[in-house]
Structure 1
């Protein structure tokens, strides 16, 4: 079980989108606050990313930026340029790869991707990210990230049979490589430390591969090869919650996803998430979400 992929799969909603954006000077695009997360790669020209908080960031060709928290931001040729609002719906019928905001005689060209997450259930792995993840080209981006950008850009430029399915995989690949690059450079902080700690990852693999199992701290510590006390202290310090608290949190996250995306009966969801009865799941779910599973499903 790949923990990073597992987290993104559980939290993502709707369908990712990708497109080339081409603009002439002066130009500005405002992305209002939403459940979306934007990823942009500057392919040609120059521009600025203007976050909701903090100073504008000047981008150079090859730079990658990821704005994960849905706080709203803008892209513009200069910080003072007029901004036009832009929004794309997170639904399964929206097009992927459709050129956006294109104009002739372009001076700036970007590769843009959008993702949607369940903001009511954000994973601490994503919470650890800053308002803007900036990966400058001059700092030496990994070849894998550059390859994903080139493949995605090529597929958008020349759509062919199967492009829609290929783009979905490539957009996911882009996000995973961006996150991997960011966490690799910060391997001693927060969830970056978890992802690069073989002992903690062994325990997380156990939780993610068998969430229905009645895990004890001692069993998870045995997977990690650490003593019970050392494991519990190390896990809590890095992950921000105790091992069993994380297990419960993850079970509820999986239950919520199945309620949103399937018609599975509550009995089946309870079994998959480690609860012996529907009543036990309902009690735990209501404590976590404030509403019973049936009402959550209707709302979703």
Structure 2
């Protein structure tokens, strides 16, 4: 998968939820911290979004906001008429957030100017249609649409910030050489990558690549490679019954012993115990995606 898909997949925890909400004139809604991400799209009226110590942001129909880190906030109806908005929430594992998510601001505002983000607008329209009409199969369609919406919102944020001066993941993904090396690591984490081979893959010398990658991503290439290998292994432990030797091989470790040591050093517990804990957690979770 690509880097953004991998980042979301690595952090996913539980099923998302979505609803259509309404606020009476001057109505207020306080929303606490969420271990994940939230979004809102105004469909009618005007809504102010406020955060502690920050100026309010006024949203008109079609405007969207994303809270990538689930920060606490307040929604206020800013008109004398009833306001309506689409809202969604995603449970994400914040214990080991992907650096791409860490690089996103606490609040992303996407104003609905003509012609901007057509794919996002199409996804919003589909989600509203599913919530408005009680159609068969919505329990399968809604979670899939929520995944699409999250990707489209983050894509829109990345495109807004791409091309700017500076460092960070938004810039790194827009840099041809660095993004090529990141894709290689994500697609083939088990390959015997070195700084030199990654640099050659990116079309740069070893030294130039190491400097460029570290400056943009915030970590040296092999540090990120190790992080991603162990994140990949953790995901396999959560979602498969593959033997530890297979997990070790697929995540780039030459032996189960080397993998076991690296995993315990990173996570603080053994790989076997980690798998057991997540199985116990899954057996206690249930639920379905919510509608209205």
TM bin, normalised by shorter chain, reads 0.7 to 0.9
Question: Does the alignment pair 1:233 with 2:208?
Answer: no
Q: Which residue of 2 aligns with 1:137?
A: 112
Superimposed CA distance per residue, residues 15-41 of structure 1 (whole angstroms, 9 cap, x where no aligned partner): 122111123234333222231210110
Contact 1:51 1:131 in 2 (8 A): no
Does the residue aligned with 1:29 lie in a helix, a strand or coil? strand
SS, match of residue 110 in structure 1: strand
Report whether the alignment pairs 1:196 with 2:174: yes
Give, in angstroms, the shift of residue 139 of structure 1: 7.7
The number of residue pairs the alignment matches comes to 273
121, 138, 156: which one aligns with 1:146: 121
d(CA) in 2 for partners of 1:292 and 1:112? 39
Residue number among 263, 278, 283 corresponding to 1:285 in the alignment: 263
Helix, strand or coil: the match of 2:113? helix
- Cα distance in 2 for residues equivalent to 1:152 and 1:35: 23
Aligned: 1:224 with 2:199: no
| Contact in 2 for aligned 1:135/1:141 (Cα 8 Å) | no
Alignment partner for residue 233 of structure 2, among 251, 255, 261? Answer: 255
- Measured after TM superposition, the shift of residue 278 of structure 1 is 2.3
- Over the aligned positions, Cα root-mean-square deviation in angstroms equals 1.8
Distance 1:45 1:260 in 2: 43
2:141 pairs, out of 153, 160, 166, with 166
Q: Name 1:103's counterpart in structure 2.
A: none
Q: Counterpart of 1:90?
A: none
Question: Alpha-carbon deviation of 1:71?
Answer: 2.7
Quote the residue 2:32 is aligned against. 32
In the alignment, which residue of structure 1 is the partner of 2:55?
55
Instruction: Give 1:150 deviation, angstroms.
Output: 0.8
Q: Which runs of 5+ in 1 are unaligned?
A: 79-105
Q: Distance in 1 between matches of 2:76 and 2:124?
A: 21
What CA distance in whole angstroms lies between the structure 2 residues aligned with 1:240 and 1:293? 27
Matched residue of 1:230: which SS? helix
For residues 168 and 222 of structure 2, what CA distance do their matches in structure 1 show?
18
Shift of residue 69 of structure 1? 0.8
Q: Secondary structure at the residue paired with 1:109?
A: strand
- Distance in 1 of aligned mates of 2:134 and 2:202: 46
Paired residue for 1:23?
Answer: 23
TM-score scaled by structure 1?
A: 0.85
Matches of 1:38 and 1:173 in 2, distance apart?
A: 14
Measure, in 1, the Cα distance between the counterparts of 2:182 and 2:267.
Answer: 23
**Which runs of no fewer than 5 residues in structure 2 stay unpaired?**
279-292
Deviation track 1:222-253 (CA, whole Å, cap 9, x = no partner) reads: 11111111111111111000111110000111
Q: Write out the 4+ residue segments of structure 1 that deviate beyond 6 Å after TM superposition.
A: none
Report if the CA contact (8 A) 1:29-1:75 is conserved. Answer: yes
Report Cα offsets for 1:254-296 as digits up to 9, x if no partner: 1222223333332221111111222211211122122222333
Say yes or no: does 1:4 pair with 2:28: no
In structure 2, how many angstroms separate the alpha carbons of the residues matched to 1:229 and 1:184?
Answer: 29
